[in-house]
Structure 1
Amino acid sequence: MKNWEDDSPECPATQDLLDVMHICDQLDIHLHANNFSQDYVERVFKKFVYEYEQGRTPNPDILCNREIKFDVLLKKTQDLGADFFATGHYAKLIKDSKNSLQLHRGIDENKDQTYFLYALAQQQLNTTLFPLADWHKNDVRKKAQELKLITHNKKDSTGICFIGNKPFQSFLQNYTPSQTGEMIDPQGKVIGTHMGTAFYTIGQRKGLGIGGKKDGSGQPWYVCEKIVSSNQLMVAQGENHPLLNHHHLSANELNWIGEPPTTNTPRLTARIRHRQVLQEVKDIHLDTQKDTLTIIFVEPQFAIAPGQSVVLYQDTRCLGGGIILHRW
């Protein structure tokens, strides 16, 4: 599956295809090569750029799973007559007493990918297999080495593939114009100039260009708010600043893999970014008419970013989640 036309060192589609061809020959597996680049641009990348232009922080990997891997690719396998769709995600599927599928975290907590899979539906998971559910990544590599697969020590893919090691700002400038504006502190004092609110994320510390300006605390500056309407970027000093830490958030575009949670659902936790340690939830409120969710955390959460996803868990089970709207 090829999703991006730029065959760069960070996204080496040609080398990946050669590796797959080698392994398929070795294991006597038939290979079907497909180019879904246009689907990816239309259904993932354009929304990625639009969301940044609106001052939000999207997660293209979640969109890719929902729109490409578990839609375009899944339908392609069905057209080929496949009985099942197996992927390398570190996640686990369990059928409950009602014969409904539950999504659970895989045994390898460091590689858990349920955060990226919360937006899937029962229909998409119905013929899906996650064979790595009870495997640790190190054991997968050992097994691959035993089988003499050439990819047994291949470097892990990290970050957003189509950006790779390129500076985020310079990459995004190819698709959205720069619009300089004021960088202000919480009191409204202008302390610098930004290149455009689209090029920054909530909680960002590096690349602000104001490291020498202090307010007496001597602490580093962080982006705490993107004011798109006035093209201003607000920054504050210290990661414990109240404008960077919030107990509440609201979310929409909700998706529940099974029954939605309620305020009485026990042992609820959530995460607002991949690999964040699961955070204890104090209470939730689900507005079914507006299809919005409000979450109150026990502890304040650093750098809650609108546009990112919040995903809810009950023990190891991933219940679902939504797109963050506001935080307070």
Structure 2
Amino acid sequence: MTTTVPRTSAPVTGSGGTATPGPGRRRRHPDRPPYEAEPGPVAKTAKTTALTLIVLAVLVPLWTVVVTSLSTQAAINDAGGLVLVPGELTFKAYTDIIAGGVVTRAVGVSVFVTAVGTALSLAVAILTAYGLSRPGSLGHRPILFMLLITMFFGAGMIPTYLVVAGLGLIDSLWALILPTAVSAFNILIMRNFFMNIDRGILDSARIDGASEWRILGQIVLPLSKAVIAVVGLFYGVAYWNAFFNAVLYINDSAKWPLQLVLRSYVLQGQAVPGTTFDPSSLDGGQTAGLAIQMAVVVLAMVPVLIVYPFVQRHFSSGVMIGAIKG
């Protein structure tokens, strides 16, 4: 005769005197802490709703800007301003700003400043961070201390302007690059990333006779693609979106970057000084001034939207691994 032992939910006391869940109360992941447990239906619904609202809060303004830039004057008048539901679409606003020549020239200036500035800033950051990551390097502590000071104290706008003017950089595109070429924050992120590289690999290369330049180029940089991509994104977005330095140092409207032209069109509703291109009076008023403004906004957003997906996969690892640890 077979005897069936009933299942019980009573806790079983282990050899150490601690109670462990019985067969009927066994947790799915006993090693996982309670705050990492799988959420219930209510929590899942709340998270889905919150994420959906956040995505809509990001996408709806972008959608509105793009649709307005493609809308006719009649569609904008019917909507009373920004267009959310597309009606009659046209590329007239884009063809007009390209034909005007001001925006295309400003795009060229911004591309030059962003490309050269990002390359120069990355070179400075890599060389400085690698030198500061090597223990016993020349002037290691004083240089690191000076970098940390610049994160909390700055000379101010007027002394910086006097330095730029003294160097003869007024109305020069280098005035948009050199004053912001060094970022202490980005250098510290890259330095901490370099310090996490296994020193045994670097010491082995030195024993084999490799120079510091060869170690940096063939070992450190290939292992640091994530942090270089993230820091490069930081620099690129900063140079692309910068306009205040242009307000201070660039008097010639032919050298204005795209963000300064965008400021003139969107915030002030004016044409660029020294030009006949007026965003509010194109084609006898048939092209909406609001469509022109939104078209310039779209052109300013497109490069960042194109580059970011290629860098996004490196973003978390580059920032977290290079973060300053307490």
Q: TM-score range by the shorter chain?
A: under 0.3
Which structure exhibits the higher relative contact order, with contacts defined as CA atoms closer than 8 Å and separated by 6 or more residues?
Answer: 2
More helix by percentage: 2
TM-score for the superposition, normalised by structure 2: 0.23
User: TM-score scaled to structure 1, two decimals?
Assistant: 0.23
